[in-house]
Each structure stands twice: as C-alpha cells, then as structure tokens.
Amino acid sequence: MNVADLEEMSRPLIQKGFHLTNNADDAEVILINTCTVRQHAEDKAISFIGNLKAWKKENPQRILIVAGCAAERTKDSLQRRFPFIDLVAGAKSIENFTQLINEALKEKFSWINDNQGAWDSPDFNLPPATDNPTPGLSHPGLGYVTTMRGCNYSCAYCIVPSVRGRELYRSAIAIINDSKNHVKQGAKEIMLLGQTVNSYKNPVASCELRVASQNKNVTIQSVIPAPGLRQGQVAAEIQPHRNLDPRLRVDDEGRGQKPIEDFSDLLQAVANVPGVRRLRFMSPHPHYFSGKLIETMASAPVVCEHLHLPLQSGSDRILKSMRRNYTTKEYRSIIKNLRSAMPGISLTTDIVAGFPGETEDDFKASLDIVEELEFNFAYCFKFSLREGTEAAGMEEQISEEIIKKRHARLLEIVEKTGKQKARAMLGQKMEVLWETPMEGKSRNFYNVSLSRDQRAEPGSVSWVSIDAVKNRKLLGRLMS
C-alpha cells in the first residue's frame, strides 16, 4: 500500500515534467513516504530525513516533501525539528496532495500557516483515473489500484486508524477505470489495495445518468452520495459508460447482473476487465471474509491462488484483547472453506509474539495453530509498543527477553513448514510474472529465479519448470 500511495503522490510531479531518478544528487525534488506501523520504520524515516539536510543546503531551491503515516502522527513536531522540509503531507491529506504540491512548486511557504487546514479536509478526491498513470515503482507488469483508505477497526496494537482515519471508499467505476488504464500501460496483474480491503462498499448510493449523444457525454440527473462524500466528488469519478447505473454491473456490460455493492462484486468486475491476467488483493480482514467472496475467488480464473490473511494470535483470549473481532474457530473455518474451494491455494499470514498479557499457554496456542494450518509462510512480528495505541497502556507488558525467545520459537516452526511447502513445488510447471530479467512471482506468490543462462523480459509472463528449491525460493527454467 505504501508503494501504491507513493505512485499516486508521484503522479502530479510526473505530469509537470519531472521524472524518476535513483540518484539523490540529480533530484530536484525528494518525496519521502513514511510508515509508522512499527517504531523501527518511523525511526529509519526520521534518520533519513536528517541526513538530507546537506542535500538541501547544497541547493536551497530543491524541494523536500515528507508524506505518509509517520508524517501524520508527528505533524506537529516534524517541521520544527527539520525546518528545511518544504512540505509535510500526512496520510489523511493524500487526496489533497495535488493541490499541496502545486503550492510547494509555486513558492516557498510556511507549512503551518498555509496548510494546516489540509489535515482536516472532509474531501475524498483521489486523482482521477487517467490514460497515462504514473510509471510503476515496482515493475511494469503490476498495477496497484487503491480501493479505499483508512480503517474502521481499532485493533489495540495498531496506530493506523489514528493516522489514516476512518474508512472511505472509492467508487467502483473509478477503480475499474484505473484497472483498465494499468492494463493499457502493460500491466498483467492488478493488486486491489485497502487496509481492510474486503470491507469495501461502493459509495454511490443512487445515481441516474442520461447518455447525451454519441460522443459519450453524460448528464447527471440525480446523485445521492454516501455519508462523508460530496455530491461533486461522486460525479467527478463517473466516467462515460454504456451502463445507466454508475455502480456498474458485475459483467461490466449491464446485462442484468447485480450492481457492484460489496468487495465480492468489485473483485468479479475487475476480473472481467479485458487484459487482466492475474488479480490479487490485500489486506483482507477475517471478519469480512464471506462465503460469497470465497465463491468469487474460486470462480474467477484470473484470481491468483494465494491469499494473505492475518491471524495475529492463536489464542481467543488474546484476539479479544487485540479487538480483532473473530475467533480461531471462525478463522479455521475460513481456511477450510478456501482450501475446499481452491485446492492448492497458497496461504500466508501475520502472527504477533509477546502481546501484553500473553501467557505461555496463549503463545502455545499460536504455535499449535501455525503447525495445524500449515501456512506457506508467516510474517512473524515481535510486539512493538506504539505510543497512542491501547496496547501501549495495558498492564502485563511482556519483557523483551521473553518476546525475543517466543519470536524465535515461532520462526522455527514457520521456516520448517515453509521449506516443506516449497519443496512440494519441485517438478511443477508455473506461470511466472517477471519483475526483473531473472526474478519473478508465481501465481501462488512464490519467488522464482531463472538459471543463470536464461533471461526474461520484466513485465512479461511465461511458464517455468521448477527443478530446484533454495530455502523457500523456487529455481527453474523457461519452458519452450
């Protein structure tokens, strides 16, 4: 999601004639997108900003922009600590970023005086879909598409809701148009993004359009936007289309199917976009994982055979303390239904070790469920105390020494299972989307490397025969 946000924020700069560079000495503008999920990420960003003082001093006409979640959380102190920053744009103001960057490019200004109101803007006006989207910051075969911003949950350990705000959804037609434009630019795979992406609801409650002429001009007759959306904002995201319902139909042609209302409908609609060869989404929340969504995933051939579904803990007591709003029984049921509907699906997850109050029995429950469900991989985190979260004020904080030991025990099981799962891929034929001439991703989200005597075109898709495994990386050869 950070990469997608950075691509979006880069768009107005590129449209004004700037181009990407990997060399800071050549840059006239540096845009830093910060993360604050863990303290370590925030500390790295602060250190990097400090190191840019010499870069700015060398040429005061250069522009330094700091954006993202850490910028939102520290907005009151960041400008005072680093006065050489030209613009601070928090995560909640990304929708107004084009306006903010225009001001930054026109003249030097006092951020505090001129832009304080941007933090509280009610508008949710993403830059509109364009036939010339920002060049990918990942690789040419992948297109990131933002479906929503913010999160309505208040997980006890998470700082995200306070820096990204409540959930705001983009209209389905804007999401579909973005997907189409990424395909026009050569993307084979679309990644739908949202903090709890499967909680998506199409924000257009009601709208009628009238086709005015053969040149596809449209006239808005009535618009009733969902709460929190401006009438003009809804209208601005509606693009000419044969449908008379801007929610669109699931088949994108209006042949009697149900309008797009929830994430399952949206997933099906994007799957039907011509040219989309692979489709993923992240990060879903178990609470919103319905049977309808599983059915859609299984029935749409372009949906990849991989899902990352955060678990966080194997203890129901800890899940309740975390405010995750599901039980391990419900989580197990989702995994069972997924594997039944999509045999061979690759599953990854997140687990936290050392949450406040976690007993040895609680932690053992996490180890047990990881062994039982046999994830292809799990991202294991040591609990990170974040100022401003509920967990930071909880009693029974776990010592760093115990957290470290539990994390190591968890990693041992995850690595063992992951290697076993990877070895099971030997001899298989896999479709790979190439990120570099020698590295790519399979549909089930394994990293695949070519032998040294072979090369592939980044952004292309080809079939590979897997003939070796190194740890969890698959090694193979192009099939003729």
Q: Looking at residue 9, what is its pLDDT?
A: 77
Helix axes 400-423, 360-373, angle to 10 degrees: 10
> Which structure tokens are listed for 148?
């929503």
Work out the angle at residue 177's Cα, subtended by the Cα atoms of residues 444 and 32, and round it to the nearest 5 degrees.
Answer: 70
Backbone angles phi, psi at 26, to 5 degrees: -90, -10
Of residues 274 and 129, which shows the higher confidence score?
274
Residues 360 and 366: their CA atoms lie apart, in Å, by: 10
Res 71 pLDDT > 90: no
Q: Looking at residue 458, what is its pLDDT?
A: 94
Q: Looking at residue 16, what is its pLDDT?
A: 65
Q: Looking at residue 78, what is its pLDDT?
A: 85
Q: Looking at residue 471, what is its pLDDT?
A: 85
pTM attached to this predicted model: 0.72
Question: How large is the average pLDDT for residues 90-111?
Answer: 65
Beta bridge partners of 16: none
Q: How confident is the model at residue 209 (pLDDT cuts 50, 70, 90)?
A: very low
> Which structure tokens are listed for 414?
């995850």
SS (H, E, C) the chain: CHHHHHHHHHHHHHHCCCCCCCCHHHCCEEEEEECCCCHHHHHHHHHHHHHCHHHHHHCCCCEEEEEEHHHHHCHHHHHHHCCCCCEEEEHHHHHHHHHHHHHHHHCCCCHHHHHHHHHHCCCCCCCCCCCCCCCCCCCCCEEEEECEECCCCCCCCCCHHHHHCCCEECCHHHHHHHHHHHHHCCCCEEEEECCCHHHCECCEEEEEEEECCCCCCEEEEEEEECCCCCHHHHHHHCCCCCCCCCCCECCCCCCCCCECCEHHHHHHHHHCCCCCCEEEEECCCHHHCCHHHHHHHHHCCCECCEEECCCECCCHHHHHHHCCCCCHHHHHHHHHHHHHHCCCCEEEEEEEECCCCCCHHHHHHHHHHHHHHCCCEEEEEECCCCCCCHHHHCCCCCCHHHHHHHHHHHHHHHHHHHHHHHHCCCCCEEEEEECCCCEEEECCCCEEEECCCCCCCCCCEEEEEEEEEECCEEEEEECC
Res 232 pLDDT > 80: no
Q: What CATH architecture does domain 2-120 belong to?
A: 3-Layer(aba) Sandwich (3.40)
Q: Looking at residue 211, what is its pLDDT?
A: 28
Q: Looking at residue 144, what is its pLDDT?
A: 93
Q: Looking at residue 368, what is its pLDDT?
A: 98
Q: Looking at residue 106, what is its pLDDT?
A: 61
Is domain 128-304 classified as CATH 3.30.750.210?
yes
Residues 326 and 337: their CA atoms lie apart, in Å, by: 16
Q: What CATH architecture does domain 305-424 belong to?
A: 2-Layer Sandwich (3.30)
Res 446 pLDDT > 70: yes
Res 225 pLDDT > 60: no
Res 242 pLDDT > 90: no
- What residue segments make up the domains of the chain, in order of their start? 2-120, 128-304, 305-424, 429-478
Question: How large is the average pLDDT for residues 367-386?
Answer: 95
Residue position matching structure tokens 């409908």: 265
Question: How large is the average pLDDT for residues 185-204?
Answer: 94
Q: Looking at residue 223, what is its pLDDT?
A: 31
Q: Looking at residue 89, what is its pLDDT?
A: 82
Beta bridge partners of 382: 353
Q: Looking at residue 438, what is its pLDDT?
A: 96
Q: Looking at residue 137, what is its pLDDT?
A: 55
> Which structure tokens are listed for 28?
């006239």
Q: How confident is the model at residue 436 (pLDDT cuts 50, 70, 90)?
A: very high
Res 155 pLDDT > 50: yes
Q: Which of 148-162, 186-200, 379-393, 442-456 has the lowest mean pLDDT?
A: 148-162
Which CATH number fits the domain 429-478, given the four candidates 2.40.160, 2.60.40, 2.40.128, 2.40.50?
2.40.50
Residues 22 and 16: their CA atoms lie apart, in Å, by: 19
Res 133 pLDDT > 70: no
Longest CA span, the chain: 70
Q: How confident is the model at residue 250 (pLDDT cuts 50, 70, 90)?
A: low
Res 56 pLDDT > 90: no
Q: Looking at residue 6, what is its pLDDT?
A: 75
Percent of the chain with pLDDT over 70: 79
Domains 128-304 and 305-424 share a fold: yes
> Which structure tokens are listed for 16?
């004004």
pLDDT, one tens digit per residue, over 279-304 is: 999 999 999 999 999 999 999 999 99
Residues 354 and 186: their CA atoms lie apart, in Å, by: 44
Residues 114 and 93: their CA atoms lie apart, in Å, by: 14
Residues 10 and 347: their CA atoms lie apart, in Å, by: 32
Q: Which of 158-172, 256-270, 356-370, 387-401 has the lowest mean pLDDT?
A: 158-172
Give the CA distances from residue 105 to residues 14, 99, 100, 121, 125, in Å, rounded to whole numbers and listed in that order: 13, 10, 9, 21, 21
Question: How large is the average pLDDT for residues 304-316?
Answer: 98
Of residues 71 and 308, which shows the higher confidence score?
308
Work out the angle at residue 36's Cα, subtended by the Cα atoms of residues 279 and 263, and round it to the nearest 5 degrees.
Answer: 30
Of residues 411 and 236, which shows the higher confidence score?
411
Q: Looking at residue 119, what is its pLDDT?
A: 31
472: nearest Cα among 408, 426, 409: 426
What's the mean per-residue pLDDT of the chain?
Answer: 81
Res 122 pLDDT > 90: no
> Roughly how many angstroms between the first and final C-alpha of the chain, as a whole number?
36
Question: How large is the average pLDDT for residues 215-235?
Answer: 34
